[in-house]
Amino acid sequence: MKSLFPVFLKLEDRPVLVVGAGKVGEPKIEGLLATGARVTVVAIEVGQAAQELARAGAIGLHQRAFCPADLDGVFLAVVATALRDLNAFVFNEAKRRGVLCNVVDVPGQCDFFYPAVVRRGDLQIAISTSGQSPSLAQRIRQQLEGQFGPNYAQWVEELGETRQLVLASDLPPDQKRDLLQSLASREAFEAALVTEAEKWLRSSNRDLRAIQENLSSRGAQLADRSSEEGGGIV
């Protein structure tokens, strides 16, 4: 097999078909919905999650057998059934219509593969073995999750905002490039972590002082009350 072309697709408002709505198909449906795709599901047996999505109007649901016309006007199709003959039939029909298709767990019937993905806000790192070893892709994903922690989400968002300011500035192009590259360095990320830690510590200290002041005030009030109550004892 020739090399795959790595690409991130914009599926917002694009029609996508999912054939199958069981344990394998439902996660695919939810992942597609997150992209803003217009998802239509065709399945005879439908899981609880897919039924709830249909009732909420999040997906179009046809609880029946697949027919070739279901692919009309579709941009992309995902097939997630346990029926090999049906999977092959849908794939061949999609190919005949020029519709990109993925038959889950059948590399030979896939125009594209689902990669293992590390997600940190707008940062996405995708790992693929071209269907050869999904287990290896998952292992690498776990390693990268440790390397790129949750703090990257906020940092990437801040980088995006800063980038717009830099690009809109009157700096020469070379300086803009150098500045953007320095902002995206490991050192800049570590500095951002230190800044966030300092903010957290200052906030924590303020909260701690407020708690201490509150406790001191309550303690003084209790002491005064005890003194007043004890003053009448002979």
Domain boundaries, the chain: 15-114, 115-149, 152-221
Mean pLDDT to the nearest integer, 214-223: 53
Positive or negative: CA dihedral 119, 16, 26, 34: positive
Mean pLDDT to the nearest integer, 6-30: 96
Strand stretches in 2-74, DSSP E: 15-21, 38-46, 60-62
- Say how many Å lie between the first and final Cα of the chain, rounded: 99
pLDDT at 48: 96
pLDDT at 227: 54
The pair of structure tokens assigned to 11 is 């599926």
Q: Tell how far CA 87 is from the center of its chain.
A: 28
**Of 15, 17, 18, 19, the residue nearest 65 (C-alpha):** 19
pTM above 0.75, yes or no: no
Task: Give residue 220's pLDDT band: very low, low, confident or very high (50, 70, 90).
Answer: low
Mean pLDDT to the nearest integer, 87-112: 96
Q: Residue 87 in contact with residue 109, Cβ under 8 Å?
A: yes
- Buried b / exposed e over 41-61, threshold 16 CB at 10 Å, is bbbeebbeebeebbeeeebeb
Neighbours of 76 (CB within 10 A): 20
Q: Residue 110 in contact with residue 125, Cβ under 8 Å?
A: no
Q: Residue 39 in contact with residue 29, Cβ under 8 Å?
A: yes
Where is 86: in which H helix or E strand?
helix 84-97
CA 23, CA 30: separation in Å to the nearest integer? 12
Segment of 29-38, 180-189, 199-208 carrying the highest mean pLDDT = 29-38
User: Options 3.40.50.720, 3.30.160.110, 3.30.70.260, 3.20.20.100; which CATH number does 115-149 get?
Assistant: 3.30.160.110
Mean pLDDT, the chain, whole residue set: 86
CA 114, CA 29: separation in Å to the nearest integer? 13
> What proportions of the chain, in percent to the nearest 5, are helix, strand and coil?
55, 15, 30
CA 228, CA 234: separation in Å to the nearest integer? 13
The pair of structure tokens assigned to 20 is 């199958």
Fold classified for 15-114 = Rossmann fold (3.40.50)
Task: Name the amino acid, one letter, at 115.
Answer: P
